[in-house]
Amino acid sequence: MSKIKMNNPIVEIDGDEMTRVLWQIIKEKLILPFIDLNTEYYDLGIKNRDQTEDRVTIEAANAIKRHRVGVKNATITPNDDRVKEYSLKKAWKSPNGTIRAILDGTVFRKPIIVKNIKPSVISWKKPIIIGRHAYGDIYKPAEIFSENGGKLEITVTDKNGNIKKETIIETDEKSIILGIHNTISSIESFARACFEYALDEKVDLWFSAKDTILKIYDQNFKNIFQKIYEEEYKEKFESNNLKYNYSLIDDAVAKIIKSEGGILWALKNYDGDVMSDMVASAFGSLAMMTSVLVSPNGYFEYEAAHGTVQRHYYKYLKGEKTSTNSTALIFAWSGALRKRGEIDNNRELIEFSNRLEKSVIHTIESGIMTGDLATLCEPPAKEVVNAFEFIDRISSNLIY
């Protein structure tokens, strides 16, 4: 049969290590046989980011602005050890942080549920969706190390030259200071995205922060969510029998462990980063989590919620077989292709994306899975396969 045509491209952003290896095989086995793939390719592998002084990351983000849909592989955010390992010029910032700062918006992460993997939190019966603010906080910071301590301050000079200054501490000790920021417009976009997503998913919305400690920063988040809810979404929520509530993040953690799930949990950037990994792991695996950045300007970036699987990559380089789970990578591709189909009114592309996801779920539910799931499944796995065999089995179940 003829391949499905794409009128407009998606932005393809490649990454690092084991996920880079799997990326090409997913395309070769699961996408290219069925789709006349149209992408604008950017290599965000750590070596190319280093060679381009990280300009390629900015170019990739701007390409998503042009084409509206992107799909991103997992990438390295280098620490000192990685700088030495790859002989980098510097410890480049998180590419995810850079892209999200340019696109703004909210990252929504949702567990991929299969019948034979039960959540480790026994009360969880329904998916917990994490809505993570994708702007600011520690992902676009300013940091200073002071050898001799001193008067550590925050200073703001506005466009009219007015100065506001706040002293953090005066000390003679060696000290470190971290400055983070957010914008009111970005918080408002975050809130609206979460309310809209909760309505789409027909789930209650929780928002959590720590306004008792951060009486300006977190208090603004809390107040903005409440104002937008009251003015724009209260009637919509009530007519759909949905609820919105705010609670301190420590209280929310305690409540969510005892809940049955089935909610959208909205969190600030770092909180969402941590809690999405916790939720993914509790539902089975970090490789069983969808992730999409939704921008208020109509941009969408789909990605895997996990890292580059460094340990498996080192084994792969030695010629050893690894049982790496590629589910989240596949769902990043299916999500981006589906969104491209929705924007372009390409029904064939949408239907293919749905079939691809069903094929992945069918493979796992039939008892064929990678090692990360095999230790969790009930009944026991029929066959534990390596990374490449898993993709082959999905391919064989993908009826076109």
The three-class DSSP label of residue 53 is coil
**Confidence (pLDDT) at 126:** 92
Same domain (yes/no): 129, 220: yes
Q: Residue 380, preceding bond cis, omega within 30 degrees?
A: no
| Predicted local confidence at residue 284, as pLDDT | 83
User: 188 with 318, same domain?
Assistant: no
Q: How far apart are CA 109 and CA 280, in angstroms?
A: 9
Cβ-proximal residues to 114 (8 Å cutoff; 6+ apart), any chain: 284, 288, 361, 364, 365
Nearest Cα residue to 331 out of 265, 280, 287, 278: 287
Q: Is the pLDDT of residue 1 over 70?
A: no
Same domain, 48 and 187: no
Domain closes at, from 234, 250, 283: 283
Q: What is the DSSP track for 238-267?
A: HHTT--EEEEEHHHHHHHHHHS---EEEEE
Q: What is the pLDDT of residues 70-112, one digit of tens each?
A: 999 999 999 999 999 999 999 999 999 899 889 988 999 999 9
Query: Residue 116: pLDDT above 90?
Result: yes
105/172 same-domain check: no
Question: Can you list the positions of beta strands (E) in 256-353?
Answer: 263-267, 289-294, 300-304
- Mean pLDDT in residue range 294-321: 93
Q: Cα separation of 207 and 312, whole Å?
A: 36
Question: What's the CATH code of the domain at 272?
Answer: 3.90.190
DSSP 146-205: ETT-EEEEEEEE-TTS-EEEEEEEEESS-EEEEE----HHHHHHHHHHHHHHHHHHT-EE
Same domain, residue pair 71 and 173: no
Last residue of a domain, one of 236, 259, 283: 283
Higher pLDDT among residues 140 and 274, named by residue? 274
Q: What percent of the chain has pLDDT over 70?
A: 99
Task: Give me the sheet containing 10-14, strands edge to edge.
Answer: 39-43, 10-14, 69-72, 300-304, 289-294, 106-111, 128-133, 263-267, 204-209, 244-248
Q: How far apart are CA 364 and CA 228, in angstroms?
A: 41
Q: What is the pLDDT of residue 281?
A: 87
Whether 131 and 272 map to the same domain: the answer is: yes
Asked if 205 and 190 touch (Cβ cutoff 8 Å), the reply is: no
- Let me know whether 124 and 237 are in one domain: yes
Picking from 254, 283, 312, the residue at the C-terminal end of a domain is: 283
Residue 338 burial (CB count, 10 A): 23
Q: Could you list the beta-strand ranges (E) of the chain.
A: 4-5, 10-14, 35-36, 39-43, 69-72, 106-111, 128-133, 142-146, 150-157, 163-171, 175-179, 204-209, 244-248, 263-267, 289-294, 300-304, 368-369, 383-384
Both 203 and 257 in a single domain?
yes
Distances from the Cα of 382 to the Cα of 118, 134, 171, 379, 385, angstroms: 17, 40, 62, 9, 10
At CA 168, angle to CA 165 and CA 174, rounded to 5? 130
* Mean pLDDT computed over every residue of the chain: 95
Residues of 98-113 as b/e, b for ≥16 C-beta within 10 angstroms? bbbbbbbbbbbbbbbe
Using one digit for the tens of pLDDT, what is the confidence trace for 122-145? 999 999 999 999 888 998 889 999
Quote the number of domains for the chain.
3
Per residue in 322-377, pLDDT (tens digit) is 999 999 999 999 999 999 999 999 999 999 999 999 999 999 999 999 999 998 89
Instruction: Answer with the residue of higher pLDDT: 193 or 399.
Output: 193
Q: Which is more confidently placed, 287 or 236?
A: 236
Which one, of 265, 303, 328, 275, lies nearest residue 126 by Cα?
Answer: 265
Q: pTM for this structure?
A: 0.89
Q: Residue 298 maps to which CATH number?
A: 3.40.718.10
Instruction: Indicate the pLDDT class of residue 400, thresholds 50, 70 and 90.
Output: very low
Structural domain of 42: 1-112+286-400
Which are the contacts of 171, defined by CB distance < 8 A and separation ≥ 6? Answer: 149, 150, 152
Q: How far apart are CA 36 and CA 169, in angstroms?
A: 60
Q: Are residues 8 and 92 in the same domain?
A: yes
CB atoms within 10 A of CB 345: 9
C-alpha distances (whole Å) from 337 to each of 27, 91, 196, 306 are 12, 33, 22, 20
**Domain match, 358 and 254 both:** no
Q: What is the pLDDT of residue 296?
A: 82
- Could you tell me which residues are beta bridge partners of residue 292? 108, 302
236 and 197 in a single domain? The answer is yes
Based on the fold, state whether residues 156 and 256 are members of the same structural domain: no
